[in-house]
Structure 1
Amino acid sequence: MSTSPSPALPDQRLATSAARLAARHAGHFSPETVQHLLTDSYLRLAETAHVRTHLVVLAERLAAERLDALARAHAAPGTGVPRVLFVCSHNAGRSQMAAALLGLRAGGRVAVSSAGTDPAAVVEPEVAQVLIEAGVALQDAYPKPLTDEVVQAADIVVTMGCGDACPVVPGRLYLDWPVADPEGAPITVVRTIRDEIDAHITELLASLPGH
């Protein structure tokens, strides 16, 4: 029998990623589930990619996040730290800033993720700059598509200008932060948006149980 990678993989380099993820989740998810999520992650990212050099690496990272979210969604209610999901249209500005700032302020007390209903190709450079100024780097950040797994795993979903495109799952706490879109804005305006989001973050942290 041939041991070559499944032809379902859009890039044969994904076979190594599939094996690595399957080993990590052995006993929880089948290799078929892992491969399906990995392939889907690759295809979703490929839709908006300008350069495909890092697609395999990013697809593995996105699939890993989705598998972790799926595992959390199946866990007993109330276990683990609170999970907060930030959603905006492109996941290149507001939701990236909010996730980075909450991660910085929470110090591990909250699990944070972000996604976009119509993800862009890259994070806005001004957004990365104002976050560096605030003490957090976005060197590993990339716009991610909104998937069912991350919504199902979230305890709190914060929407930021994605309107009716954001899904609603019963039992989740939904917040909407009416923050301006930093896309194409001058750096001074992006700093103001960052500070406004940071103020919302402070309020959110204060509202969480045990904070």
Structure 2
Amino acid sequence: MKLEKDFFNRDARVVAEELLGKVLVSNYNGKILKGKIVETEAYIGEIDKASHAYGGKRTKRTEPLYGEPYTAYVYFIYGMYYCFNIITNKKDIPEGVLIRAIEPIEGINIMSNLRFGKDYSDLNKNQIKVLSNGPGKLCIAMNISKDDNYEDMNKSNKIYVENNKIDNFQIIKTKRIGIDYAEEAVDFLWRYYIKDNKYISKK
């Protein structure tokens, strides 16, 4: 069952943790791709120097952060990769959750071809491990790009999140990755992942 908008109309830290185990869905040319969300990061513009919207910064790039909850925010990094975020909390409160890693569960052969240009059965052990264990990697595998920026995921049939059966897993809370510039925010324990899942990007 598709998650409703109200699920995302909460503090990013709460949503980031509760998204673990849920299923990210992408419709690629009529084929459904699914991955269990196993790693997330929360960003809260008002107090977070790692956020693109810190200090009320509002530009064309950051405008999706100020949108309705359950809006997609996709941005480009290093001139190479996309990062996919889901906006949380109320409109005009810049908060969001970065989806850092997923565990492929449906449409895996398509994901493999999108990511490596070959079938899943032809991947080596390392390629299987790195299929979707990072924000840029999962965007390639799920065909998420700048075209999905601003997508209203509450209404969308292209990209959205489904609930999942309850799994028994332990959640690890730790520091976020790649934000060395963010002063005190470096130490915020706002990264969440499923303990021992082989698809997380970093322990």
Give the TM-score of the pair, scaled to structure 2: 0.24
Q: Whose radius of gyration is greater, 1 or 2?
A: 1
Q: Flag the structure with higher strand content.
A: 2
Return the structure number with greater relative CO, CA threshold 8 A, min gap 6: 2
Q: Flag the structure with higher helix content.
A: 1
